[in-house]
Amino acid sequence: MTPRIAIIVGSTRPGRKGSAVGQWVLEQAKEREGASYDLLELADFGLGLLSEATVPGDADRAYENEQTRAWSRTIDAYDGFVWVTPEYNHGVPAAFKNALDLLYPEWNHKAVGLVGYGVDGGVRAVEHWRQILANVRMIVVRAQCSLSTFLDWRDGAFTPTERRPRELKRVLEQLEEMAGLLAPLRG
Ligand SMILES: Cc1cc2nc3c(=O)[nH]c(=O)nc-3n(C[C@H](O)[C@H](O)[C@H](O)COP(=O)(O)O)c2cc1C
């Protein structure tokens, strides 16, 4: 089985830096043979703020809102994810956390690789995500790619420094390995 991986751009902010990061991840990943990769912009899903009456773990995927159902179908189709995350006020971005909170079984037994960015590489958000993602029974790989808004952007353009492709490669290798190992648990 070749794992299907979605790269999720988790910022929904107009003018977000995250789109360039997601495009770069896709460029680096698309020639890889260990998995297939798609790029998703969370903003395209128009999700409501925890707009479901039933707790996701009890809903059995019977969501009330079509936007949530479309998000559920999309996430169900993937074996793993690259989480492209900014850091907002030393934590995870609210819209991305909401998108996670809206679902539950769709995330279970899937692998995640974290690509963070911020003035300190987004590392506080990334460490926060590790704690959160464990609760939806996802396995986050050890390698991470931490992009600095000072070093990896020049004049507003994303220009990753020389070591970043190697860092990302390690994330993708571990992600593909973990997505494969978890496949039997997903049935
Ligand atoms: C509400 C808000 C809070 C922020 N807090 C942080 C922060 O805690 N740490 C950090 O490194 N950058 C912080 N920033 C700056 C972001 O790193 C920067 O705006 C980046 O472009 C956000 O990613 P995005 O453009 O993809 O949304 C914050 C930005 C916003 C909008």
66-90 residue pLDDT tens:
999 999 999 999 999 999 999 999 9
pLDDT of residue 88: 98
Cα(118) to ligand 1 centroid in Å equals 6
Q: Region of 109 please: left (phi>0), alpha (psi -120 to 50) or beta.
A: left
Q: Identify the residue whose C-alpha is closest to ligand 1 atom 22.
A: 86
Angstrom distance (rounded) from CA 139 to CA 147: 22
Identify the CATH homologous superfamily for domain 4-186.
Flavodoxin domain (3.40.50.360)
Give the mean pLDDT of 3-9.
98
Angstrom distance (rounded) from CA 48 to CA 53: 12
pLDDT-derived band at 1, boundaries 50, 70, 90: confident
- Quick: pLDDT tens for 16-66: 999 999 999 999 999 899 999 999 999 999 999 998 999 999 999 999 999
Rounded to the nearest angstrom, the gap between the alpha carbon of residue 169 and the centroid of all alpha carbons in its chain is 16
Find the residues whose C-beta lies inside 6 A of ligand 1. 11, 13, 16-18, 86-90, 118-120, 149
